[in-house]
Structure 1
């Protein structure tokens, strides 16, 4: 509590505060005070005097301790000490056998011993009424004492303490809590206004108390996560709530199966969110609750959903052996481990559902790079989950020169650009060469060539690998275009060009003559009009 006092700017000398009662022969008793208002516990000098000239006896009647300081023929000066409350003084004088008196009132002032604002609630809900209570203990005169409630430096409410109030006195006012009040400092101040007595206004201020307000929506947080979690995987779960205040004060955490997850919380505006990366452990397999708990002030909001945690291993697909020679047997087997009860294997004969399926085949060249597909199924919470495995079979076989890959007859026009497309199959890949049967002249494959008539003939293509070799004859025919035929083509083309050029010249000259004719007719019409026009 801070106190501010002002010293009197002008001492008040009460020259006469008395009810004067005349004595015999017009004698009067008077009382003089040096101050009209005093602080509690102060001392006061009082002068009692009388106009009586003979047989005078003066005295002062008071409840306080007094000491006579000085006296004269018809006056006495007293000092009173430890004055604790307002009271009346009376000077009396006996002049002969007649007594007269004069009285005065002492007014005391004191500052409140305590000005305290009641503690505020730890949190106040936005939109609810907050009651501020200021306790004022002591202070006088009460009729001139008032209480002011403050928010920061802003005055909210002022009220008189009251003359008949109890001591201590509780003064109250109300505030409608809002988001703007969050972090605001509230206090109360007493004002003892002694200006009517020639003094100033004395202030006492309580300690400030900070208010924290909060606002929460009626909705629960929103949870975002997969319904199914697989053991051994890493999954992300997300929770958020918007419309709360202050978001920076909110605490948000995630729990899975009763274990608090390590999460990263963020807030922006009136939204708070939390994200957690979950490494799904085997001990949580089964049905587990995922909870999101938000705490703000003394309130909390929760959201919960049920997750199904499962173990599901991929099926095992084996080819035994994975690489075989043509004509050898291969065993293909698909089996599951863990919770899956059924597997399917491509190429296997139909049969009842089983956790293991296998069959045997005689590998052929067509089985080289054949892909086998193995699938396992697991049902979790009404959903069917699938996991697959694939594996490729490698078959070793000798070279092949089939008609589909290397046609036996080719016919190319002379002078054209052509490519001999002849491929050999085999594992390992064979080396292919093609040469003329008559003179071993090479004919490259896969290369663009200009066809000449000399390329005609029978070629032998040979494919060779570590598993053997194979040959195939290829017939190449070059279609030759004769000389006279070419001349006739050139002649026809030339005639067509000449006819086109001649037609273009004819049409151009015809259009030019038409334009000249139209121009002459226009000039003649103009001359006629000029001749027919009357002279000016």
Structure 2
């Protein structure tokens, strides 16, 4: 109320300020911070009107009390005692003009209390309901209900479209999926009246702390379904995702008898139980192993059926271990287990099943009709309900027969290559393994991995023998080798003149006979022999001069040889003769000149060209004059 009186004074001061204004500019105003004013049901609200207009009035349907007037202001207490929306206005009215200021007054009632309905234990991954009940609240269209988890709003709903009047009770249900994150969280319902700037309009319920749990998955049983009798297999049970783990208990049974219990360990996502079975735990035949996981009063279970069996036992027998061609032998496959009816037996010959029967031992007769050194006989005994559980025994029958040469093992004609390492190309079929010897008039059969030589080409007689008989066969070996370096033979072997006929023959040692290829200066007037081993130039010319190359090839190699050929033209001999004559004339002239010079030098040596009266001078300068004379001769 103190605040209201302060506001009233403020309005009065405003009224004094407006006194000097003209009537046409007057104003009216109701003191209120909001256009909508919410008042607790049954409370009074101070309605203040300030104005500069004369004779302004307060209008409202609500009951007024304690009216007061002042200069340019009016006030009154109005009682808000129902839930109808009420208008209050300050009005100045002239015939041609209306001025007013209005607010809306509404009564409200905060909820008397809020309740929450939620189970204290929630199963994870399941749908659960939270129910909030708001009692005796008005007006409901301003109500907002929210659900919080750990102080965080997880659901909220407003009732703006609900226009019911008076105090009502509202129920809101929220469905959610529980998760492990909800464990030990506080859940609360809150009811709030959204009344503008009015504070403290929220009422909340008490909080509920929940615990979540997760029922474990179906137990997983790990063990073999087929177990041999008088062994100690391990049986393992495993449950996952039970929460809280410490509340999980695992039990293991065999044939409905409890084997052991295994408690869950806090912090582990799995609970595991392992039990070692003994002979006293099970019996021959079908047994059941059951695992049960429990969480409080809840449980899940799984059952696995296991078969306890006696390992198959057998004895194999043969009427004979050695048999000749076209003779017979009997195979016996005997089941020696205490209860043969639970087992089956089969007989295979060289991995081909020939006989099979269940419940008793079996026999099979083999007639040998093929040339093969041995026959493998297999006896298999297996569990009738599970063929994978079996026992096998194998015996070998030796088959004896006379040696035999075949074209595949010992071909009549054979080709070997010189220089290659190989074995003699003849073997023999027979059992027991025959002794084999191959020889010729010159050669005995070489040892294994011999080096082939060309002089081994000849015929051989091969003889094979064993305890069943003796056979023989003639074979021939041809040794092939690559071409040697060819030889070129020219005919005629003298100088070839222009227009003459000449022949070139290429010879090379090779087997098989080689092919001949030529590389020559020109093909003009050239003919080839059959096989191209030689060529004939029918009319030689200078164009046939050059290099003649012969290449020989067979499937083992290639070799070649070349030779230069010069063809002499028609005037060559004349030029040669003229050249020789000129050369002889030149030699004769040189000899003649030489003889004349020798003759002349001899005559000058016999005459004294010095006078008598100069004899003394000659004696003094003898050496000098002698030199002069020699110089003159030259």
TM-score normalized with structure 2 length: 0.36
Could you say which structure has the greater relative contact order, defined with CA pairs below 8 angstroms and 6 or more residues apart? 1
Over alpha carbons, which structure has the higher Rg?
2
TM-score by length of 1: 0.42
